[in-house]
């Protein structure tokens, strides 16, 4: 089906996520740290492949799990929309404490993700 190829290109499948503990530790240890608007990005380039996203969020960011999940959903959506411009990057995102999920957060994250590729 024609819609399947579009979904695969714009989706956020397993190949576009950082899931291994070793990948998170490598980015925290060796990645370039960029702090923008309270968000902390750990970025590392790869030789080839799609961009990959990791999210670092704790109970200090939001006490309620539902709020933490909404924050993660906003980060994933912003990454999904901007992934075509990123290239072969590994990105680990730590949001600021007390951030509120919503449309404003999504717009700000899209700006920040588009600036990472430069």
Instruction: For residue 75, give Cα distances in angstroms to 2, 5, 47.
Output: 27, 23, 24
Residue 8: pLDDT band with limits 50, 70, 90: very low
Q: What is the pLDDT of residues 11-38, one digit of tens each?
A: 677 788 888 899 899 999 998 999 988 9
Q: What is the pLDDT of residues 74-113, one digit of tens each?
A: 999 999 988 888 888 899 999 999 899 999 999 999 999 8
Q: Over the Cα atoms of the chain, what is R_g?
A: 14
Task: Say yes or no to pLDDT of 5 above 50.
Answer: no
Tokens encoding 1: 């089906």
Cα distance between residue 118 and residue 115, in whole Å: 6
Domain covering 38-118: architecture:
2-Layer Sandwich (3.30)
């Amino acid at each position: 089906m024609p819609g399947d190829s579009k979904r695969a290109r714009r989706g956020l499948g397993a190949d576009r996520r950082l899931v291994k503990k070793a990948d998170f530790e490598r980015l925290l240890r060796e990645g370039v740290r960029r702090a923008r608007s309270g968000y902390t990005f750990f970025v590392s380039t790869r030789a080839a492949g799609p961009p990959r996203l990791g999210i670092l969020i704790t109970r200090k960011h939001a006490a309620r799990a539902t709020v933490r999940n909404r924050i993660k959903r906003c980060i994933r959506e912003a990454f999904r929309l901007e992934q075509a411009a990123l290239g072969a990057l590994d990105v680990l995102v730590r949001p600021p404490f007390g951030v509120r999920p919503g449309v404003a957060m999504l717009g700000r994250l899209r700006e920040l993700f588009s600036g990472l590729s430069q």
